[in-house]
Amino acid sequence: MGTQSLYQPHFSLGSQATGQVVGTVKETNRYGLISEFVYNEQQPVVAQLLLPLLQQLSMQSRWLLWLTPQQKLSKSWIAQAKLPVHKVVQLNQISPMATVDAMARALLTGNYSVVLGWLPDLTEQERLKLSQAADLGNAYGFIMRPQQDVATSRRHCSTIKIHSPLYH
């Protein structure tokens, strides 16, 4: 990791080794990152944890992709969050299972600095697929999960709860 490190995440990366964490958010980073955020509608933490990282990543020439199968992203929230509306792409109304493949393909292209995906519970093979795609595409991937979905998960993971008023 370089001395120019802006963010060093301190949370579980699933099956990815912690030594592979990206040490910089510049476009010259060498590794991708997959992590999981668990959110609760009652706790407004997104502005404190996720938004600064998204704002930093939006300075790259690449796009921000939101894969939201059931919701429509609010453009007014994007503007209020100081994210560039012209760099945010959203795919919605796709099946949750297709979202896993869409996220892997998007990460792999290298066209996106970050891909946020609202995904079903993943197998280790799917996690590995996403992690490898993020590494090859030099991108960040965030698996967004509602808190109630985590209670049924079989594995232990560190989670960060975020608020989601970003939808209308």
**Residue 142 pLDDT more than 50?**
yes
**Residue 101 pLDDT more than 90?**
yes
Among 1-10, 57-66, 119-128, the range scoring the smallest mean pLDDT is 1-10
pLDDT in tens, 42-55: 776 666 788 899 99
Residue with tokens 């970050």: 114
What integer pLDDT is reported at residue 37 of this predicted model? 85
User: Greater confidence, 130 or 13?
Assistant: 130
pLDDT in tens, 110-125: 999 999 998 888 999 9
What integer pLDDT is reported at residue 42 of this predicted model? 72
What integer pLDDT is reported at residue 137 of this predicted model? 96
pTM: 0.69
Quickly state the pLDDT bin for 90 (edges 50, 70, 90). very high
Burial readout 82-109 (b: 16 or more C-beta within 10 A, e: otherwise)? ebeeebbeebeeeeeeebbebbbebbbb
What integer pLDDT is reported at residue 84 of this predicted model? 95
Q: Cα(159)–Cα(110) distance, rounded to whole angstroms? A: 26
Which CATH architecture describes the domain 18-150?
3-Layer(aba) Sandwich (3.40)
How many C-beta atoms lie closer than 10 Å to residue 43's C-beta? Answer: 13
User: Greater confidence, 34 or 18?
Assistant: 34
